[in-house]
Amino acid sequence: MAKLHLVDLQMKTLLLTLLVINVASLALLPAQQPDMNPSHIDVYVTPYYNSKGPEVSVGRFSTGLASAKEADFLATIAEMKKDWDRLTFPELYVGAVRLFDLGYRKESVYWFYTAQYRGRQFGVLLDQAKMGSIGDRGFELFHAQSAFYQLVGPYINGYAFGDMDELAKIVERVQKEGRRIPDLQAAYPGVTFKDKGEWEPTNTELADGMNQLISMLKEKKDDIKRQRIERGMEAKFSKLTSKELPSR
């Protein structure tokens, strides 16, 4: 049993290291296509979000998130912030996308990194042996968290890595907040999670793994900035502006 535990621990450490590498890579990748519009996130993650429309299906906040009326959208964002600790990662990812598209990009970075954390938290605490297959809620959510990250990341990280000092503060904030484990069973009904005795140590390891990203943002920012310039990412995203989210 000790040997199995050690292997499991090594695999988790490797996955956390790869996460840091992937985040940096998404910020440095050249645009996916020459005509990529950096100000509009063009993605489709079935059944939760389709940028065409947009179409949103993440539950109670879907209509407001999809609204073309900015006042209705902002009212929905305000309601979501009141219920922040209970938001699921699909709700947060879609919120981040819509905030970005409507110009509230600094706020969208915080939502995106919170969504990323809660998505990975879902993945490591999910009982993958009991998540089912295509059509089962656990299976669909498990794959959705990876899809959202891979598809949305190049846009929001492309913008966020333009100010690594601010990004480091956001990541530290998300890390601190992520140490509180939400009621996953209430947030994701019908999904089977690991024994609750495993939740705290597994989540602590996930949060601690973010230290590598925070260190990279503080210690390697000159190297990252140089590479962003060389790959055209700085020119593509540096012109984007950000509106202040109204306080309510």
pLDDT for res 248: 64
Write out pLDDT tens, residues 27-51: 555 544 556 799 999 999 999 999 9
For residues 73 and 98, is the Cβ–Cβ distance under 8 A? Answer: yes
pTM higher than the cut 0.75? yes
Please state, as a whole number, how many other Cβ atoms lie within 10 Å of the Cβ of residue 5. 9
Residues 6+ apart with CB under 8 A from 109: 96, 156, 159, 160, 166, 167, 170
Write out pLDDT tens, residues 225-247: 999 999 888 999 999 999 999 87
Write out pLDDT tens, residues 173-183: 999 999 999 99
At residue 21, does pLDDT exceed 60?
no
pLDDT band at 135 (very low <50, low <70, confident <90, very high): confident
At residue 22, does pLDDT exceed 70?
no
pLDDT for res 42: 94
Q: What is the dihedral of CA 88, 246, 79, 61, to 10 degrees?
A: -60
Write out pLDDT tens, residues 152-180: 999 999 999 999 999 999 999 999 999 99
pLDDT for res 36: 76
Give the residue carrying structure tokens 């998505």. 119
- How far is the C-alpha of 15 from the C-alpha of 38, rounded, in Å? 29
At residue 207, does pLDDT exceed 80?
yes
* Proportion of the chain above pLDDT 90, given as a percent: 80
Q: What is the mean pLDDT of residues 140-157?
A: 94
At residue 13, does pLDDT exceed 50?
no
For residues 123 and 12, is the Cβ–Cβ distance under 8 A? Answer: no
